[in-house]
Structures are given as structure tokens and as C-alpha cells.
Amino acid sequence: EAGVAQSPRYKIIEKRQSVAFWCNPISGHATLYWYQQILGQGPKLLIQFQNNGVVDDSQLPKDRFSAERLKGVDSTLKIQPAKLEDSAVYLCASSLIGGLAQTYTQYFGPGTRLTVL
């Protein structure tokens, strides 16, 4: 079974530029998550989708971050304009979700390392 795919793996941009990240979850997983992981910290949830609807975006800085999951499969996360403090690893995760606790288990992609200069 293929895992969560993310691209690009690395991105370097200058502040005030825009950037987009792509994620393809595990086949059949209804729920998709975007996390931000700053160096030395654990992942912090930015947004969660169930199918193509947003379930939780309470920690997403909506003035500059946006995300979409058209057709309930792939997702993109965009930052516009980027700030220095956005330098981090952006992780995508997916889970099955179907009532049993086991279906909430999250599986992560390799992440995209963003450096903002």
C-alpha cells in the first residue's frame, strides 16, 4: 500500500513570495491533515479535512495560509505572502476515520521543508 505522498520535498523562497505544497493521502483515507513542524518542536495542526470539507482550521493563519481539497483526495496548502517565521517542515497526514478508534490513526508523509530567506 502506497503511503502519503508530498511534493516538493524542499523549497527555498524569499519573504513575501508565494509557495504551494501538494499532498496525496493514502488511498481510501477520508481525512487529511496539514501540520507545521518548527525545528525542535512537535507537529502543530494547521487544518483538517474530512473528504472535501474543512473540519478544523482554528490554528490556520488565514490571512496568509489557505488550503483546499478538491474532489476529496489531493490537497494543496498555500502561503501568500511568506514570512521568515514560516520556515518549517509542512507535514501532511491522513487517516481512515470510520467510528473505531483505530481508524483515527494518522499516517504521515515525508514532509516539505520550507526555508524563507
Partner 1 sequence: GQQLNQSPQSMFIQEGEDVSMNCTSSSIFNTWLWYKQDPGEGPVLLIALYKAGELTSNGRLTAQFGITRKDSFLNISASIPSDVGIYFCAGSSGTYKYIFGTGTRLKVLA
Binding residues (CB under 8 A) for partner 1: these are 4, 6, 31, 40-45, 48, 50, 55-56, 59, 91, 93, 95, 97, 101-102, 104-111, 113
Q: Compute the half-sphere exposure of residue 40: CA atoms within 13 Å on the CB side of its CA.
A: 0
In whole angstroms, how close is the CB of 2 to partner 1 at the nearest point? 14
In whole angstroms, how close is the CB of 101 to partner 1 at the nearest point? 5
Q: Which residue type sits at 20?
A: A
Residue 60: name the closest of 48, 69, 42, 43 by CA: 48
In whole angstroms, how close is the CB of 51 to partner 1 at the nearest point? 13
The answer to whether 78 and 22 have CB atoms below 8 angstroms apart is: no
Judged by beta carbon, residue 18 or residue 38, the one nearer partner 1 is: 38
Residue 10: name the closest of 89, 85, 94, 117 by CA: 89
Judged by beta carbon, residue 15 or residue 89, the one nearer partner 1 is: 89
